[in-house]
């Protein structure tokens, strides 16, 4: 438990210090309330050079009780996320470092967000959770991809 | 599965490859900001490492002994959390009577035992025999040699391996794997290095060297000793088949009680709690195992009221899973 407290202090320090590596990525990363560090929310900026550029994307992070031995559970919530490796209905993310097999206890929440940023930059249509977007990507139709993402972000259902 | 670790990816997330370990190519800029006290901090708990340092070999990354062992009992492989290089040994220092000694733990051996225990718990025993039976036979034929042995105080078989543990206080010997499996069985995998009698730290002692010659006079057992291969699976296989089927039977009997209790929760619900299938199997597994250990691997209906005990344990487990009784 004290590990997440330490991590919280560290994250506060990094975000206040405007660490350059994260200024372009993290809008917000904080526990939902200060008395319960097991439930976090994060907001990240869509990376430039992707269709997500200019949008803010919300995430919820649940810390398991045996963290950091078990990986944190990260989801795109509360808003739906159009991405080929994200389940559109549940927000579940298909990312290996968030699974039991590939997680390492030496990583922290900042690493996780960095990995998610990388996933946004480099979608992997070979292992899709959103087949429609994966198909568009496989065909290399960049315009349709951008259009679809923007459609959802700008109020599509 | 989306992979960010594969080598065709940029190395941002592959963390330090450097064997000198500390400063390495972490995510750009993260190092300075987040690892201020990096030199003395355990990467797992983020506490400073003051004592009980454990070093992974060959990559030389350092952790708290307890942290890294906790990770190893959980992880599916022996890769270093920092650099993902497969670890072979864990080197630890400890003080004994004013001397500072280093012990080297063979991680691969312990890891195989862990896998075996997990399989023994998950698979039925006959499958295990099938799986390990052939290995056992091979080793049996190749490893017969004449040896003067002392007994392991847990399993009663010869201590003849290089990795055997010795307690100086009680003068007792243990197989490393016996200590480990016992620690697993009592649910405290971390404390395996304690002597069963006095709880002192055991040391690695080759029971066949001249270190304790007097022991050999007292305890010479057989001239022709059969060395069992270094894992508990082989030892289990060496138990008679009747014993194995008895154990299996005990497991089934205990599970009947637990299932009975859980079925009520699953089908009609009890006190406002209705569980799903996943929780059913999960709780069934945990509680059955606990009762199995509790009853010392025997079905003791006259001593233990299994229904009440199962109800109690299921209650505890469900609370742990977050169910609330109305």
Instruction: Write the pLDDT tens digit of every residue in B61-105.
Output: 888 888 888 888 888 788 888 888 888 888 877 665 666 667 777
pLDDT tens-digit series, residues B159-209:
666 667 777 776 677 777 777 777 766 666 667 777 766 777 777 764 444
Q: Is A94 considered catalytic here?
A: yes
**Considering only A24-33, B1-10, B199-208, which range has the smallest mean pLDDT?**
B1-10
ipTM of the complex: 0.81
What part of A 8-27 touches B (C-beta under 8 Å)?
10, 13-14, 17, 19-22
Hey, are the CB atoms on B12 and A118 less than 8 Å from each other? yes
Asked if A68 is an interface residue toward chain B (Cβ–Cβ < 8 A), one would say yes
Q: B287: pLDDT confidence band, cut at 50, 70 and 90?
A: confident
Sequence-ordered list of residues with C-beta below 8 angstroms from that of B275, at least 6 positions apart, any chain: B262, B265, B266, B283, B318, B323
**Within a 10 A sphere around the Cβ of B151, how many other Cβ atoms?**
17
Average pLDDT, integer, range A28-54: 89
Helix (H) or strand (E) holding B135: helix B125-142
Coil, strand or helix at A24: coil
Hey, are the CB atoms on B27 and A111 less than 8 Å from each other? yes
pLDDT of residue B221: 31
Hey, are the CB atoms on B44 and A21 less than 8 Å from each other? no
Which of A15, A94, A97, A124 is labelled catalytic? A94
Examine the pLDDT at A115 and tell me if it is beyond 80: yes
Asked if B49 is an interface residue toward chain A (Cβ–Cβ < 8 A), one would say no
Q: Of B3, B8, B7, B77, which is closest to residue A96 (Cα–Cα)?
A: B3
Closest partner CB to B81 (pick from A7, A17, A106): A106
DSSP for B175-224 reads -HHHHHHHHHHTT-GGGGGB-TTT-PBPEE--TTSTTSHHHHHHH---SE
Q: What are the chain A neighbours of B28 within 8 Å (beta carbons)?
A: 21
**Structural domain for A52, as ranges:** 2-153
Contact A98/A72 with Cβ under 8 angstroms?
yes
Percentage of chain A exceeding pLDDT 90? 24
Q: What are the chain B neighbours of A14 within 8 Å (beta carbons)?
A: 30, 33-34
Coil, strand or helix at B226: strand
Distance of CA B270 to the CA centre of its chain: 36
Examine the pLDDT at A61 and tell me if it is beyond 90: yes
| pLDDT mean across residues, chain B | 65
Which CATH number fits the domain that encloses residue A73? 3.10.110.10
Strand partners, A59: A42, A76
Token pair for A125: 């249509």
pLDDT of residue B296: 73
Coil, strand or helix at B128: helix
| pLDDT mean across residues, chain A | 87
Examine the pLDDT at A150 and tell me if it is beyond 80: yes
Q: Where is pLDDT greater, at B196 or B133?
A: B196
Helix (H) or strand (E) holding A8: helix A2-16
Radius of gyration of chain A (CA): 16
Cα-Cα-Cα-Cα dihedral sign, residues B6, B12, B17, B21: negative
Q: Residue B112: exposed, middle, or buried by beta-carbon count in 10 A (0-12, 13-18, 19+)?
A: middle
Identify the DSSP state of A69: T
d(CA B318, CA B308): 15
Percentage of chain B exceeding pLDDT 90? 0
Examine the pLDDT at A156 and tell me if it is beyond 60: no
Please state whether A80 falls in left (phi above 0), alpha (psi between -120 and 50) or beta: beta
Hey, are the CB atoms on B71 and A95 less than 8 Å from each other? no
Radius of gyration of chain B (CA): 23
Contact A130/A82 with Cβ under 8 angstroms?
yes
d(CA A35, CA A44): 23
Asked if A65 is an interface residue toward chain B (Cβ–Cβ < 8 A), one would say no
Of the ranges A116-130, B215-229, B258-272, the best mean pLDDT one: A116-130
**Within a 10 A sphere around the Cβ of B163, how many other Cβ atoms?**
17
Sequence-ordered list of residues with C-beta below 8 angstroms from that of B128, at least 6 positions apart, any chain: B119, B120, B233, B236, B237
What part of B 9-48 touches A (C-beta under 8 Å)?
10, 12-13, 15, 27-30, 32-34, 43-47
Residue ranges of alpha helices (H) inside A17-141 are 20-23, 109-121, 131-138
Sequence-ordered list of residues with C-beta below 8 angstroms from that of B322, at least 6 positions apart, any chain: none
Domains: count for chain A:
1
A–B CB contacts, 8 A cutoff, strictly below: 91
pLDDT of residue A119: 92
Hey, are the CB atoms on A104 and B74 less than 8 Å from each other? no
């Amino acid at each position: 438990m004290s590990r997440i407290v330490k991590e919280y202090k560290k994250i506060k320090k990094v975000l206040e210090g405007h660490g350059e590596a994260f200024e372009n990525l993290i809008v917000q990363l904080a526990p939902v309330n200060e008395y319960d560090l097991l439930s976090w929310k994060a907001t990240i900026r869509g990376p430039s050079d992707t269709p997500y550029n200019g949008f803010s994307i919300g995430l919820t992070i649940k810390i398991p009780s045996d963290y950091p031995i078990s990986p944190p559970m990260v989801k795109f919530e509360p808003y739906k996320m159009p991405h080929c490796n994200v389940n559109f209905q549940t927000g579940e993310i298909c990312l290996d470092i968030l699974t039991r097999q590939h997680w390492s206890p030496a990583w922290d929440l900042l690493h996780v967000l960095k990995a998610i940023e990388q996933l946004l930059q480099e979608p992997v249509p070979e292992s899709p959770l959103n087949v429609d977007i994966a198909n568009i990507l496989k065909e290399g139709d960049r315009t349709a991809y951008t259009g679809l993402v923007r459609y959802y972000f700008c109020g599509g259902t | 599965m989306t992979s960010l670790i594969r080598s065709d990816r940029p190395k941002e997330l592959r963390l330090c490859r450097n064997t000198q370990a500390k400063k390495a190519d972490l995510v750009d800029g993260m190092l300075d900001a987040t690892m201020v006290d990096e030199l003395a901090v355990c990467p797992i708990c983020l506490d400073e490492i003051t004592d009980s340092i454990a070093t992974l070999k060959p990559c030389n990354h350092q952790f708290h002994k307890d942290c890294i062992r906790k990770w190893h009992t959980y992880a599916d492989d022996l890769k270093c959390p920092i650099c993902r290089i497969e670890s072979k040994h864990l080197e630890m220092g400890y003080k004994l009577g004013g001397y500072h000694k280093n012990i080297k733990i063979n991680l691969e051996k312990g890891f195989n035992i862990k896998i075996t225990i997990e399989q023994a718990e998950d698979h039925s025993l006959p499958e295990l025999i099938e799986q390990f039976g052939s290995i056992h036979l091979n080793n049996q034929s190749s490893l017969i040699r004449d040896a003067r042995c002392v007994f392991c105080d847990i399993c009663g078989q010869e201590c003849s391996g290089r990795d055997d543990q010795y307690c100086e206080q009680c003068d007792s010997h243990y197989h490393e794997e016996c200590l480990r499996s016992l620690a697993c069985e009592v649910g405290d995998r971390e404390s395996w290095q304690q002597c069963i009698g006095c709880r002192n730290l055991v040391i690695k002692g080759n029971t066949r060297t001249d270190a304790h010659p007097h022991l050999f006079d007292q305890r010479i057992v057989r001239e022709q000793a059969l060395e069992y291969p270094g894992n508990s699976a082989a030892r289990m296989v060496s138990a008679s088949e009747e014993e194995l089927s008895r154990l299996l039977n005990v497991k089934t009997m205990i599970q009947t009680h637990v299932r009975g209790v859980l079925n009520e929760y699953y089908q009609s619900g009890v006190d406002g709690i209705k569980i799903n299938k996943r929780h059913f199997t999960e709780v069934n597994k945990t509680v059955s195992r606990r009762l199995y250990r509790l009853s010392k691997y025997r079905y003791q209906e006259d001593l233990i009221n299994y229904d009440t005990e199962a109800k109690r344990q299921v209650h505890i487990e469900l609370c742990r899973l977050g169910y609330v009784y109305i």
